[in-house]
Amino acid sequence: MSKISDWQLTLAKARALKDFDPAAKPFSGGDKKTDTAATEVLAIELDGLQNLFYADKRFKLLVILQGTDTSGKDGTVRGVFNRMSPLGVHTVGWKAPTEDERAHDYLWRIHQKMPGNGEIMIFNRSHYEDVLVPPVNGWITAKQTEQRYAQINDFEHMLTDNGTIILKFMLHISFEEQGERLQERIDDETKHWKFAQGDIDVRKQWKLYQKAYEALLNATSTPWAPWTVVPANSKSHRNLMIATLLRDALLKLKLRFPPGDPALKGIKIE
């Protein structure tokens, strides 16, 4: 089994995205059935940890799921967070900004969705779309992109300084795997709702997006909010890896229930 450091980036050492094998299974327990069973066990453990996290209220947690079309962001939400109580757990699926959102700076809408004390917020896509789509399509210059990297780093630093823990996962799939998943959405009528004609146009920009991802990963993987690349050709492995890392992150917090209320001592319910 690989070390987590094998899949994380740091500002000190640039890494090429092609060096991360999307078909790898560093956290796999064996086969798909074994991995799925292990994830189910973790999901139950995460539910208990989430309740404790909500009661503790010393921390806030932001989980960012970023990746190309069909990389499995929705599947991760269903597979990893499905057993968590909706109390204190929220998900945002970011779309193209509205006219009102475009009238503000690009982080304005993001800041409004930050988790509060005891809350877990899951981002399906994120503010990192603003350093992917605009530079790939030539809407902002290289200098403006670099400025946004710095702004995002400062923004996330401010969040972590104020008690927010940030876990950033880049779901990494291959060009071939994406092709198969897009074709499945076309062939299966029950999945047509997932497919948009624009997906084909974006697929034609695969190399540009891979380059943009590599640049942002190296520029924004900070000590306070590092990126973890998750090999995601295997859906079951993807879920197992993220569930494991999430569980480990929560355990490190040494969560505790608040002190009992002395006023309740001796009270009997009749």
Does residue 262 belong to any structural domain of this protein? no
User: Mapped to the 3 state alphabet, what secondary structure does 195-208 carry?
Assistant: CCCHHHHHHCCHHH
Does residue 153 belong to any structural domain of this protein? yes
Contact, 21 vs 222, CB < 8 A?
no
Please report which confidence band the pLDDT of residue 45 belongs to, taking 50, 70 and 90 as the band edges: very high
Q: What is the mean pLDDT of the chain?
A: 94
Structure tokens at 15: 């890494």
pLDDT for the residue 196: 85
What percent of the chain has pLDDT above 90?
84
Does residue 42 belong to any structural domain of this protein? yes
What mean pLDDT do residues 41-61 have? 96
Three-class DSSP category at 166: strand
* C-alpha to C-alpha distances, 215 to 15, 107, 136, nearest whole angstrom: 9, 19, 12
Does residue 131 belong to any structural domain of this protein? yes
Does residue 270 belong to any structural domain of this protein? no
Number of domains comprising the chain: 1
The closest of 215, 150, 173 to 16, measured between CA atoms, is: 215
What percent of the chain has pLDDT above 70?
99
What mean pLDDT do residues 190-209 have? 91
| Model confidence pLDDT, tens digit, residues 146-162 | 999 999 999 999 999 99
pLDDT for the residue 260: 86
pLDDT for the residue 261: 86
Three-class DSSP category at 66: strand
Please report which confidence band the pLDDT of residue 10 belongs to, taking 50, 70 and 90 as the band edges: confident
Does residue 258 belong to any structural domain of this protein? no
Reported residue count of the chain is 270
Please report which confidence band the pLDDT of residue 86 belongs to, taking 50, 70 and 90 as the band edges: confident
Please report which confidence band the pLDDT of residue 2 belongs to, taking 50, 70 and 90 as the band edges: low
Does residue 167 belong to any structural domain of this protein? yes
CATH number of residue 122's parent domain: 3.40.50.300
Give the span between the Cα atoms of 167 and 80, in whole angstroms.
Answer: 14
CB half-sphere exposure, 90, CA atoms < 13 A: 16
Q: Which residues, 6+ apart, have CB-to-CB distance to 153 below 8 Å?
A: 219, 220, 222, 225
Instruction: Return the amino acid letter for 32.
Output: K
| Model confidence pLDDT, tens digit, residues 91-132 | 999 999 999 999 999 999 999 999 999 999 999 999 999 999
Tell me: pLDDT of 189 over 60.
yes
Contact, 215 vs 227, CB < 8 A?
no
Confidence (pTM): 0.94
pLDDT for the residue 89: 95
Does residue 265 belong to any structural domain of this protein? no
Look up the domain containing 130 and give its range: 4-252
Span of 5-14, 175-184, 249-258 with lowest mean pLDDT: 5-14
